Amino acid sequence: MSAMLLLVVSLVPALAFAAPAPRTQKKKLQAPNVVLVASDSFDGRLTFQPGSQVVKLPFINFMRAHGTTFLNAYTNSPICCPSRAAMWSGLFTHLTESWNNFKGLDPNYTTWMDIMAKHGYQTQKFGKVDYTSGHHSLSNRVEAWTREVEFLLRQEGRPIVNLMPDKNRRRVMAKDWQNTDKAIRWLRRVNDTKPFVLYLGLNLPHPYPSPSSGENFGASTFHTSLYWLEKVAYDAIKIPKWLALSQMHPVDYYSSYTKNCTGKFTENEIKNIRAFYYAMCAETDAMLGEIILTLRKIGLLQKTIVIYTSDHGEMAMEHRQFYKMSMYEASTHVPFLMMGPGITANLQVPRLVSLVDIYPTMLDIAGIPLPPNLSGYSLLALSSNTSANEQAFKDRHPPWILSEFHGCNANASTYMLRTGQWKYIAFSDGASVQSQLFDLSLDPDELTNIATEYPEITYSLDQKLRSIINYPKVSASVSQYNKEQFIMWKQSVGQNFSNVIAHLRWHQDWQKDPRKYENAIQHWLTATPVHQRLPAHSCPVAVDNNKTFSSYI
């Protein structure tokens, strides 16, 4: 980063589209350029009030002022690879069958970028893509496959912070900055007589690897420098409320345990983890800013639609968790901002949207007819402040979004239906694990599950969810896939499989009593699946949390 960033922080309000830097005009572009910046683990609530008050994000604020902010944008799966598979295919997770971080789209899958290339767009992508595979470790794979085994094993390192005490150190995440530099060099060389689409994938503000987690490092270190930490307003940091361990939903308890978060944390520890996460968000914002500044400097900002989003959010110690893999707001609510030609400035859109909407939006920007059977819808109509466009979108786009999770750190497939004021969450087959219902208008922190208090609403939303996705059948398919994958891996390592596991991230727990865990795996492999023991269309029921806990301990 150069002195250019220092200059723009003071000049952000003046960077209006009406005053671009001069550039020789060769030919008017028939379609706008598009730049999509997709970060990792960015909590979308930071892009609007009051979340935006906790950390300085000048370039996100610039996009808000000069473009459209989608206030209720969600991931379709709160984990990297499945989320990105949805983003690049325009299809829900159960349609891509991207069940975990290493099972994504086929490498030859036709993405929106491929289609734009066929229609004359110059295309380029840099950085984290991860829609075919997240390239994760053996630990990640075995953890995902065995998530329904009745045992508890620590899968992550305890979340910690690590500070570089350097007020001048701006480039902390070197790899992200290198990819940002590559994108800038590409923009400076691009042939502006043809439209282009550029994708930049950032790893920040994803936590960093933690060597203390074992051989296959977890990622539980929140790492930044004093330069970025000074962008955070410590007094504005909210310390999240936690339920007692005995009151937690069983899947939440399992997640908290596997993420190494059931121990004692001081208020100062929690505040620091959140502060460091926000500082990492500030560094992410600066990389987005370098792209915006470059476009302006070369005279292409007025001709380019810039989109910023993220694959999922970050819990940052909400609900006694870090990371994602949860349907709570911190994990599923993502940023989604657009600015550029034809995009209304300073517009905030409350309509529910999700990452599957990127595929049709990209093609709509390019004027390319949309293929049938996409899960998403173009958002261009919503970015225009006219009642006609709003009504047109309302007529096409259903008033709900769907998110699913089938990976590690949660011991049941999870499904979220978000509609109106309600968030409904179903698990597994819909009967063996209690569902959750939150009224976000009254309970934005999602601390009070009212599923049993309002059975009519719970039943109605469950029926709506089943009309969108046969989730008991999907859960059964994922369970079968997990068993098959584990058996193939187990056969590949022979009788030595337990010793292999004993040297993965689980080693500290596994080595204490390997026979216990081997027996649990054997029971899992031979037991009758839940979906074969329960009626396919059972209504959601409450489950005694304490009984559920005891089966894992």
Residues with catalytic roles: 80
Distance of CA 175 to the CA centre of its chain: 20
Using DSSP's 3-state secondary structure scheme, residue 520 falls into: helix
Which secondary structure element, helix H or strand E, spans residue 276, and what is its range? helix 267-297
Cα distance between residue 142 and residue 130, in whole Å:
19
With DSSP H G I counted as helix, E B as strand and the rest as coil, what are the percentages for the chain, rounded to 5?
40, 15, 40
Torsion (CA) 11, 16, 17, 19 in degrees, nearest 10: -70
Residue 531 CA to residue 533 CA, distance in Å, equals 6
Distance CA 191, CA 179 (A): 20
Distance CA 220, CA 202 (A): 18
Structural element, H or E, at residue 125: strand 122-127
> Cα–Cα distance between 125 and 128 in angstroms, integer?
9
Cβ burial 236-266 (10 Å sphere, 16+ → b, else e): ebeebebeeeeebbbbbbbbbbbbbbbeebe
CB 327 within 8 A of CB 416: yes
Q: Are 146 and 407 spatial neighbours (Cβ–Cβ below 8 Å)? A: no
Question: Are the CB atoms for 86 and 401 separated by under 8 Å?
Answer: no
Joined together, the tokens standing for residue 319 give 């609900």
CB contact set of 277 (below 8 Å; sequence gap of 6+): 205, 207, 222, 314, 316
Peptide bond before 369: cis, by omega within 30 degrees of 0? Answer: no
